[in-house]
A and B are shown apart, each in its own frame.
Chain A
Amino acid sequence: MRRRQDLAFRLWTGAFALVLVVVVGAIGFELVRQSLPSIHRFGFAFWRTEIWDPVSGDFGALTFIWGTLYSSVLALVIAAPVAIGIAVFISELCPARLRQPLVFLTELLAAIPSIVYGLWGIFVLVPAVRAVETWTPEVLRHTPLFAGPPLGVGMLAAALVLALMVIPFTSSVAREVLRSVPPAQREAAYALGATRFEAIRAALFYARTGIVGAIMLGFGRALGETMAVTMVIGNNPRISASLFAPQYTMSAVIANEFTEAADPLYLSSLVEIGLVLFVMTLVINSLSRLLIWSMTRSTRSVPVAPAEPMGAAAA
């Protein structure tokens, strides 16, 4: 009787897990099916064409791929140090009285709908960014990184909004990871005469796979974020290295143009942008899995690894 119950339970939950596989498979299948006209028409050129012209029916995804990757990487560069700093402070240094309010605040940030971030971006962040851009010295303005007129909307505003949206996710996961570091690790560090900073560094090293995972989670979120980005990025499909230039992302172009796309090839090209985004997310998630996997394997194969940072700290 017991065994049958166990078996039923296993089948039952297994079926739910299967749903997940089926859903991902169905999404992939449907994306491919609906983008077939566009795949037949443009082939692989779709991935490296910069033109997006609904009037003449010429479509390419490169400008959107660039905008999505550039904005997400920038957001990560801004968000990762801040998020890890928050996580370290809350889990290691913060007075117990402050801990709960701070945790609550980060979780509140994560719960704000993205359209609200977008509105805040338009009315608060964009004017501030414009002021910074106007104030940027002329010498810098001639470098490719800061070229272009001070519009306010553009890559910098988008990266900042994205960073703000990513921080709560990354810092929450990083905080949990740090909390799961065995106390023995820190105690051992202190026993060896480590300062607080060195002990925390040892804990961070111990938790590094989890922290990389937290950062990759933030990256995944930044890749797919739509509404807040489209409201501040300027929506201009041009590839530019400039932080001040208006650019465009994949999810933004889908959201902006899907409702009015009546021509079959146009619609199919938009679906293919979705497919590109799907494939990219898949690849990036797999790569981060691989990274985490290789990191955990290396710690396992070297049993003395936890002692390593101590040696470094002493040196």
Chain B
Amino acid sequence: MKRLTVWICAGVLAAAAGATAQSVQINGAGATFPYPIYSKWFSEYNKLHADIQINYQSIGSGGGIQQVTKETVFFGASDGPMTDAQLKAAPGALLHFPTVLGAVVPIYNIPNVKQELKFTGPVLADIYLGKITKWNDPALVKLNPSASLPGTDITVVHRAEASGTSYIFVDFLSKVSPEFKSKVGVSTAVNWPTGVGGKGNEGVSGLVTQTPGAIGYVELIYALQTRISYGVVENSGGAFVKASVQSVTAAAASAAPNMPADFRVSITNAPGKDAYPISSFTWLLLYENPKDKAQAKVMVDFVKWALTDGQKYCAGLGYAPLPGNVVTMEMSALAKIKVS
């Protein structure tokens, strides 16, 4: 018994000694969408640098913005860029750094229609406004002449809870349809004019697969992982593009020339013939002049690694990697963070 106590004491002392030996612990919180890739990065980075431990709580973008504003965490993460008012509320200048890309795809369930359906932005907007209510609406038939679309009602399914996925989707619809912009607008949660709400990607896809005549939208990653088939969407160049890791990266690449210096940019409906139109960055939020310089140095090194070597983990998890031109811009922006 005594020996056991001695061993435990020794263990605790050793652990304490280990902790003081230059180990750095950083806490962050925010978006749920990039959580799988972030936790992969943090664990891989911990393998390379055993003394660095980065903890991330996926509490949602809104929570991430709040926590980083209150400085209860060192960094935040968000699926939507912070608004000017939110930035003003923060005690210091917050910088946005895109890390990976995501996309949203339309899914549907029409009995006896097995082929891939084509959608345009305005048609999707009209469906979600409740203006197109039947599958054999002339606008849908014109886009899909070879599909035998039935005259059944369209059941609209959207996300029940506030989410980055909804944000990307309504951001796109608001860009292509002035009516959608004025009646619904852009936010993580909106006042949907029609339809039912499913909770999470799984809730939406569950409702769509169960309900004949339903249409919904899910994250590309979720569709790829669960092998749900999804529709193609017309981009601003008039081409019908199927969402894939490549077409999402292409959207970011084509948006790069007009990238604002603070990276707060929506890349939905991006130009370029290969660009998938319902794509978006997800961002890390870092203070330009952080209080804890030791943590700042570690974090900057980590972000550099994530934007370069770390990008190779993206495809395996279904995320689209950043295009090279965006990475170059971010590298110079990272230099602005004061680490000493």
A residues bordering B, Cβ < 8 Å? 51-56, 122-123, 126-127, 130, 149, 151-154, 230-231, 234-237, 246, 248, 252, 255-257, 259-262
Contacts and interface: CB of A to CB of B under 8 A. Distances in A.
Contacts of B206: 122-123
B191 A262 contact: no
A229 to B, nearest CB: 11
Contact of A260 (B60, B195, B199): B60
Contacts, number: 89
B191 A51 contact: yes
B192 interface: yes
17 contacts: A53-B190, A54-B187, A54-B189, A54-B191, A55-B187, A122-B203, A149-B153, A151-B155, A154-B196, A231-B199, A234-B196, A235-B197, A235-B198, A246-B196, A260-B162, A260-B189, A261-B162
Nearest to B185: A55
Given A56-B185, A231-B203, A246 B197 contact: yes
Query: Size range of the interface on B?
Result: 20 to 34
Q: Pick the 10 closest A-B CB pairs, nearest first.
A: A235-B197, A259-B60, A260-B162, A55-B185, A256-B161, A235-B160, A260-B62, A262-B62, A53-B191, A234-B196
Interface string B163-199: 1100000000000000000001111111110011111
A168 to B, nearest CB: 24
**Residue from A123, A126, A127, A231 with most neighbouring chain B CB atoms (10 Å):** A231
Given A236-B196, A262-B65, A152 B189 contact: no
B189 A262 contact: no
Contact of A151 (B59, B187, B196): B196
Contacts of A127: 210
B155 A257 contact: no
B254 interface: no
Given A230-B199, A235-B160, A262-B62, A153 B189 contact: no
Given A54-B190, A130-B211, A262-B66, A256 B162 contact: yes
Interface string B192-234: 1001111100010011001100000000000000000000000
Contacts of A246: 196-197
Given A236-B192, A259-B59, A261-B162, A55 B210 contact: no
B192 A55 contact: no
B55 to A, nearest CB: 18
B275 to A, nearest CB: 26
B282 interface: no
Given A54-B190, A126-B210, A236-B192, A260 B163 contact: yes
Contact of A255 (B59, B66, B161, B184): B161
A231 B197 CA distance: 9
B197 A130 contact: no
A181 to B, nearest CB: 44
Contact of A230 (B66, B153, B160, B184): B160
